[in-house]
């Protein structure tokens, strides 16, 4: 292992943020180690481009098998890697899924963070290793103040958010009790073309691109009225790094300060594809029709391309989130560079390319492997 380069360890390296953060740290000259869990299928698609043949000189990027629910693997890896910085990004990160798997979510998202902090402590790394905890705007849940900032009281509304609340406080506690340089990044939703396909933004851009090419009939969504503060993951991982480069550890809200509804997101993605949607009905009966000029002048077709499926409603919903990142702006000089429109445009463009690939495969008589249908 290099003596001159800073060494970073990333849990959740195969996820959206893990991939962007790995790139950022490698570009900054770090030696990067990532923890990936065993899977029956390949799960490294987002980071495959960072690998290199071990016999060639390439970027110092290494993977280790481990799991947030397994202290032995985590402690062993931390002992071996002796990281200067740990970015704890691994989590069962889907809010809706956390209602179905609450205990597993608590184990990986709450106790997982404790396991890493304990490893730092037990291995005598409290003065050496800095720790970043991927905290979340979901902590605000049933919001007590708008916009939300570092001092806004928490009111979690899902097993995911409750697990993350434990992780938030155990990070603060280990900072205060043992003097570990440990920070919470309270990040609001951030998206990208490599966002997981079941989060609402990616589900929308992917489905509309496929509808545009005739590969899919309709997009089914849950709560269309949810309001979110959506930023770009690339901007947000820069903040994760910045937070660990300060003189003293602190917690920061990271957000754009602009809010849109799920319906707004659908409209923006449709516009990007040259489509227009006319909305009718309310709540579970809301339907989005594709506006097309039919052959009879003055009339419009009424093909439904978006419908609400109450299956996607959550037992307790977070209706509105809007962040105030003034502290990060003032103390760290951070502002997001990528706008909402640019984010939507990039996501749509990339999903259109994917849909075009699937269309080509279909045209040649093959079935595209599409796990989501
Ligand atoms: P992803 O869901 O894309 O990635 C999660 C990562 O965690 C994946 O690499 C996943 O592995 C890994 N993981 C899940 N469970 C385990 C486990 N038991 N052991 C080891 N690894 C595991 O999330 P994001 O990249 O979007 O988010 C990163 C972190 O930031 C998460 O903790 C999330 O909760 C938090 N967060 C995200 C926000 C967002 O808007 N994206 C906002 C605020 C916080 P695999 O690839 O095998 O599934
Ligand atoms: P969120 O993101 O729950 O905010 O958590 P998600 O994209 O899943 O939902 C955002 C909002 O959209 C509504 N919604 C739907 N959501 C999904 N997934 N699928 C649908 O079909 C659908 N229809 C409407 C949801 O009800 C919700 O209100 C994300 C995750 O990345 C967390 O890990 C992270 O902590 C928070 O963002 C900040």
**For residue range 338-369, what is the model confidence (pLDDT) as tens digits?**
999 999 999 999 999 999 999 999 889 887 65
CATH code of residue 206? 3.90.25.10
Please report the DSSP string for 235-297 in residue order.
HHHHHHHHHTTSSS---EEE--S--EEHHHHHHHHHHHTT--EEEES-GGG-EEEE--B-SST
- The reply to whether 284 and 175 lie within a common domain is no
- The reply to whether 155 and 213 lie within a common domain is no
Residues flanking ligand 2, CB < 6 Å = 93, 95-96, 136-138, 188-189, 198-200, 203, 221-223, 226, 228, 262, 312, 314, 317-318
Cα 22 to averaged position of ligand 1 atoms, centre (Å): 14
Domain presence at residue 333: no
Using most ligand atoms within 8 A of CB, pick from 192, 198, 200 the residue to mutate for ligand 2.
200
Tell me which of 187, 217, 252 is where a domain ends: 187
Tell me which of 160, 187, 214 is where a domain ends: 187
pLDDT: is 368 or 75 the higher one? 75
CATH code of residue 50? 3.40.50.720
Ligand 1 in reach of 18 Cβ (< 6 A): yes
Rounded to two decimals, what is the model's pTM?
0.96
The yes-or-no answer on residue 152 being catalytic is no
Domain presence at residue 331: no
- The reply to whether 284 and 177 lie within a common domain is no
Q: pLDDT band at 294, cuts 50/70/90?
A: low
- The reply to whether 55 and 123 lie within a common domain is yes
- The reply to whether 209 and 172 lie within a common domain is no
Question: Region 65-87: what's the mean pLDDT?
Answer: 98
Domain presence at residue 125: yes
Domain presence at residue 245: no
Checking if the pLDDT of 88 tops 90, the result is yes
Domain presence at residue 239: no
Mean pLDDT of the chain: 95
- The reply to whether 125 and 163 lie within a common domain is yes
- For the stretch 185-239, pLDDT in tens is 999 999 999 999 999 999 999 999 999 999 999 999 999 999 999 999 999 999 9
Domain presence at residue 328: no
- The reply to whether 148 and 206 lie within a common domain is no
Percentage of the chain beyond pLDDT 70 is 94
- For the stretch 103-119, pLDDT in tens is 999 999 999 999 999 99
- For the stretch 44-72, pLDDT in tens is 999 999 987 666 667 899 999 999 999 99
Domain presence at residue 216: yes
Instruction: Provide the CA 158 distance to its chain's centre, in angstroms.
Output: 17
Sequence-distant (≥ 6) Cβ neighbours of residue 293 within 8 angstroms: 300
Instruction: Provide the CA 75 distance to its chain's centre, in angstroms.
Output: 25
Q: pLDDT band at 168, cuts 50/70/90?
A: very high
- The reply to whether 152 and 280 lie within a common domain is no
Cα 145 to averaged position of ligand 1 atoms, centre (Å): 27
- The reply to whether 26 and 170 lie within a common domain is yes
The yes-or-no answer on residue 342 being catalytic is no
Rg (CA), the chain: 22
The C-alpha atoms of residue 301 and residue 304 are separated, in whole angstroms, by 9
Q: Which of 160, 168, 181, 236 is catalytic?
A: 160
- Domain extent, residue 112, equals 7-187
Sheet holding 182-187, edge to edge: 61-65, 31-36, 7-11, 85-88, 130-136, 182-187, 252-254
Domain count, the chain: 2
Work out which ligand 2 atom sits closest to the CA atom of 93. Answer: 33
- The reply to whether 181 and 210 lie within a common domain is no
- The reply to whether 83 and 107 lie within a common domain is yes
- The reply to whether 169 and 300 lie within a common domain is no
- For the stretch 300-319, pLDDT in tens is 668 999 999 999 999 999 99
Domain presence at residue 236: no
């Amino acid at each position: 292992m290099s003596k001159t380069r800073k060494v970073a360890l990333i849990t959740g390296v195969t996820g959206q943020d893990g991939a962007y953060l790995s790139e950022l740290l490698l570009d900054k000259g770090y030696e990067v180690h990532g923890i990936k869990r065993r899977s029956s299928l390949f799960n490294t698609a987002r980071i495959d481009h960072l690998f290199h043949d071990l016999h060639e000189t390439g970027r110092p990027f290494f993977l280790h098998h481990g799991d947030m629910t397994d202290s032995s693997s985590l402690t062993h890896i931390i002992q071996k890697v002796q990281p200067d910085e740990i970015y704890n990004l691994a989590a069962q990160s889907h809010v809706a899924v956390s209602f179905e798997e609450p205990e597993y979510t608590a184990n990986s998202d709450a106790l997982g963070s404790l396991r890493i902090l304990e490893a730092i402590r037990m291995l005598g790394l409290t003065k050496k290793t800095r720790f970043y905890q991927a905290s979340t705007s979901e902590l605000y849940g049933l919001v007590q103040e708008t916009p939300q900032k570092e001092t806004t009281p928490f009111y979690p509304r899902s097993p995911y958010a409750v697990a993350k609340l434990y992780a938030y406080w155990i990070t603060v506690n280990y900072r205060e009790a043992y003097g570990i340089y440990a920070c919470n990044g309270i990040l609001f939703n951030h998206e990208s073309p490599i966002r997981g396909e079941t989060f609402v933004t990616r589900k929308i851009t992917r489905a509309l691109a496929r509808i545009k090419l005739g590969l899919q009939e309709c997009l089914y969504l849950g709560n269309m009225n949810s309001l979110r503060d959506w930023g770009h993951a690339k901007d947000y991982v820069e903040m994760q790094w910045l937070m660990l480069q300060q003189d003293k550890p602190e917690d920061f809200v990271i957000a754009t300060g602009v809010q849109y509804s799920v319906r707004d997101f659908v409209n923006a993605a449709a516009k990007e594809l040259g489509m227009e949607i006319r909305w009718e009905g309310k709540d579970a009966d809301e339907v989005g029709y594709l506006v097309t000029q039919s052959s009879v002048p003055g009339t419009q077709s009424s093909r439904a391309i978006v419908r609400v499926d109450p299956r996607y409603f959550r037992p307790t919903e977070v209706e509105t989130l809007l962040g105030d990142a003034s502290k990060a702006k003032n103390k760290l000089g951070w502002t997001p560079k990528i706008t909402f429109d640019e984010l939507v445009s990039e996501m749509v463009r990339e999903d259109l390319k994917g849909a075009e690939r699937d269309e080509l495969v279909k045209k040649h008589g093959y079935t595209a492997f599409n796990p989501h249908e």
